[in-house]
Structure 1
């Protein structure tokens, strides 16, 4: 995980004012994302008048991959190309990565090497859309054309298909600084602020930028910005129905029909988890730090998704390495001035944790130490941290739902709670979540199916996959990474999604209870738990205004701020 940022001053200025950077808090915000390394650098850009304007790079690194720290920005000494990279790539590299080893080389270095061999927008797009994994990047390229005797300077930016790593774009009102960054500048009046769309390649012609007067988003689009969509096929949930499925069959948990599909589902999800664990393992096996300290954690509500992830991770992670199970609850004030933290997620989490230990013992699964960490948050602390940190991290998202989920994930990622009634802070840098499971498998879509049938259901799931970057992942990455943690969402693995599209008929996917994977592995009580949204399970929703809707503008995020509730942030 890294924090990446590129600042381009307006053409009338040669450099970004250091006081502007300090006032924007970008250094501090990016350092929180990457505590292992921090750097700033500048390169000159040749403007139309021959004078130099300087492009500023700011980067931080949370080292999670190779045995040695890879500093950023990365630079190709032959071409002068510069890359700021955040994330991990599991496949899709060119021939230079035929023997890719996480212990020896960083995936960002391979990415830069491959991109340095490409100059046309079309070629870069064709390459990038084949990459698999959660990532975002900023790439600077300068190509010299001998016939024209001039250099073409470009800036590229992109996020993966589902936007699992944040990247924002903004322009300051005071001096028109143009910023592409993991997180928005703070304490700065902005002309526009937005997330870079997932599954798109942004190409900015710097020669045209320096020759133009750009003061807003329209100017940027009209003069120098092009946006290329990736292959959108991955979002499309096919209307593939299995005619052999009898509508009268009762798909209860003990049903033995479609056992192969259940097994294949479990194996493909395990493969998605294994990719993420393998690259973490290469880092941790080289370290001599205490093996008793958990290196990975699961956001553990006790529901089916978190329990399924925990079960599969347990079978893949070294047995002698503990795992933190992070269980979050917001407090309820009682008449005697005490605070009660027995939220639905806390109560179910405890029961599921006990069942997990019993199943592991009975089934002779890998036995390890699980740390059930109870994270308790009082209303006063919620309001304080929202005001000081979380509200800004959530932006440019701005709804009540964004506020709720952003606060939940920030406190969960911080990992400060109690283990066996003793104060405990999780040191795990990798946090596994069940994000995307409902959008992919139709967790909340059965009412929609009853109203619109399978065609309507396919359209709904396609829409949810297309919008998941805007509704979830950009915001989630910003709040989780602020704690120096890296999020992992195996349900959003490209290969797993392709498996679900191709081999799980829609009328099977939405009728078969995927808790059956747990049932087949010995779980009983947990498999019958109803789904519960995080804001209700943690009891955060009861702390706020009861009349609010999730889609409402959230005033709490913009108290004493410059953002107008009625302003329409322009989308691309």
Structure 2
């Protein structure tokens, strides 16, 4: 994982961003930082490149890379398939060797189409004066752009904005609609930026048109002369969504409508078809987790005492079905002597809850935890803390030998306000809603991994050493986990639900993934998303809708049905039937400040003047 940046000047007077602007980039890549200036006096343009590396695979490879022909490459990604990366090799070097060998546009697009895994890249092709850049199909790595108002500051591409940037509105996320090409020679003649988009190839004309409209709708008039679409296309890395709806759906033995469901209710639903699909799902998801926990430097990790071993992998952990599945599967592939960090974040409850927390121990069942039940709890015993502890006990039962580091990360209102003002607000930009603020802050504190750990009956301060953080994002979007999915299903049945799920993956890059990558990457850690592995998405897309989710069933059963059945097969317990609880509510961050805000409202706490 890296922080990458490139500024383009359509003059020979290159613009180098001021040094403070690189602080956020350097935090993403603490192991190596280098800069490179290229000026083409014959064609009157210049480019400034900056690369900051978090070393995870093979030999440490400083960026930007440059070959003898003058080609320059910045890579923020992981190759998990499609392009061969030998075990001891560095994927940045492999990708550079492959891309410089490409002679034509078709060759470059063919190469990029093969890559499985998250990526964002910037590639300067000197011979043709082309600057290529883009994000992967799902947008799992952040890349922002800003177009200047003068030729001297024509274009800036970066993983994350500068500290205290003054022009918030000028930054936008590069759309994950394909990859872009900018011919710098012709742009220098016009003194304007021209872009060509090579978009992902979809199976239907409607999807292709929708993808291109995302770009056309962007307000380019202020920044570029025009954007055109290349004749060649990128091949989408996943199979299309199965939209077939059978006339008669199988009738389950249990059509429970109660919110109080049990693992026995779930077991009653398991048909032979459901069991076979769930077993296949476990296989493909397990392989996705394996890829994401296997390629890590471990040779110097094993110390003299097992208790002294350091964790290489952490999981954003609430005890819910998504994080429990990731933990159970990670346990299969991480060496048994190596601990796994379970990062559990809680925001201090305010008002009466915090004043009365010592009077009585909270004993409410996890699925019934609400504000009334929390009234007598420790002020950090939020719903996700309670389900997290229960999930920890289930994981211990699965593997008694494993050291599970349940890290209790407690955040007060004062610390939240301070860190948001000093730092987090710049990472969330250019997103700016109340929901972005809540989730962005929660993920930042969780991924930092600084909290308390109970060990041998003693509670002590602990900070996670892991460079890799697994997150369950993508499960709800594909398997109907959100309340809006149930609303759409109740209103328009399976047809409406299919449209909603199709839309979810199409917008996940702009709603979630860029923000989460910036926030987690700021800790010098890499976010990895097993549920968005290309093979996992292709498998789930191949199933008929009723085979993976059934929203005619009660909460805790019907949503993410295939995942719940898979959890039972793996031996998990009550976590298999926990209803979906959004992170902002489970961690109680949404209850800390203004109570009357809507998630879609612009958040005043993220404004630049507040950040400064």
Superposition TM-score, scaled by structure 2 size: 0.82
Question: Which deviates further from its counterpart, 212-221 or 157-166?
Answer: 212-221
* Superposed displacement of residue 173, structure 1: 5.8
Question: Which deviates further from its counterpart, 231-240 or 458-467?
Answer: 231-240
Partner residue, 1:238? 242
Partner residue, 2:171? 193
Equivalent-residue separation in structure 2 for 1:32 and 1:168 (angstroms) = 17
* Superposed displacement of residue 129, structure 1: 2.3
- The answer on 1:218 being equivalent to 2:206 is no
Q: Kindly report which structure 2 residues correspond to 1:50-199, keeping only aligned pairs within 5 A, or say none.
A: 53-66=45-58, 68-77=59-68, 79-93=69-83, 97=84, 100-103=85-88, 105-143=89-127, 152-172=128-148, 176-190=153-167, 192-199=170-177
Partner residue, 2:37? 42
Superposition TM-score, scaled by structure 1 size: 0.87
Contact 1:76 1:112 in 2 (8 A): no
* Superposed displacement of residue 63, structure 1: 0.3
- The answer on 1:426 being equivalent to 2:468 is no
Q: Kindly report which structure 2 residues correspond to 1:199-210, keeping only aligned pairs within 5 A, or say none.
A: 199-210=177-188
Q: Residues 342 and 188 of structure 1: is their aligned pair in 2 closer, same or farther, counting only changes over 3 Å?
A: closer
Question: Alignment partner for residue 544 of structure 2, among 483, 492, 505?
Answer: 505
* Superposed displacement of residue 13, structure 1: 5.5
* Superposed displacement of residue 246, structure 1: 1.4
Contact 1:433 1:488 in 2 (8 A): yes
Partner residue, 2:475? 437
- The answer on 1:335 being equivalent to 2:351 is no
Spell out, residue by residue over 1:250-286, the C-alpha distance to the aligned partner (whole angstroms, 9 max, x if none): 3742134121111111111001111112212xx2236
Q: Residues 47 and 382 of structure 1: is their aligned pair in 2 closer, same or farther, counting only changes over 3 Å?
A: farther
- The answer on 1:547 being equivalent to 2:524 is no
Q: Residues 288 and 7 of structure 1: is their aligned pair in 2 closer, same or farther, counting only changes over 3 Å?
A: farther
Structure 1's unaligned 5+ residue stretches are 144-151, 362-366, 564-572
- The answer on 1:523 being equivalent to 2:572 is yes
Partner residue, 1:21? 18
* Superposed displacement of residue 495, structure 1: 0.8
Contact 2:142 2:159 in 1 (8 A): yes
Equivalent-residue separation in structure 2 for 1:393 and 1:312 (angstroms) = 31
Q: Kindly report which structure 2 residues correspond to 1:391-402, keeping only aligned pairs within 5 A, or say none.
A: 391-402=425-436
Q: What's the Cα RMSD here?
A: 2.5
Structure 2's unaligned 5+ residue stretches are 194-218, 256-264, 359-377, 551-560
Partner residue, 1:325? 342
Q: Residues 500 and 473 of structure 1: is their aligned pair in 2 closer, same or farther, counting only changes over 3 Å?
A: same
Contact 2:14 2:39 in 1 (8 A): no
Partner residue, 2:210? none
SS of the residue corresponding to residue 237 of structure 1 reads: coil
* Superposed displacement of residue 12, structure 1: 4.4
Q: Residues 526 and 534 of structure 1: is their aligned pair in 2 closer, same or farther, counting only changes over 3 Å?
A: same
Q: Residues 320 and 233 of structure 1: is their aligned pair in 2 closer, same or farther, counting only changes over 3 Å?
A: closer
Contact 2:318 2:384 in 1 (8 A): yes
Equivalent-residue separation in structure 1 for 2:467 and 2:596 (angstroms) = 37
Contact 1:398 1:554 in 2 (8 A): yes
Q: How many residues are aligned here?
A: 531
* Superposed displacement of residue 477, structure 1: 0.3
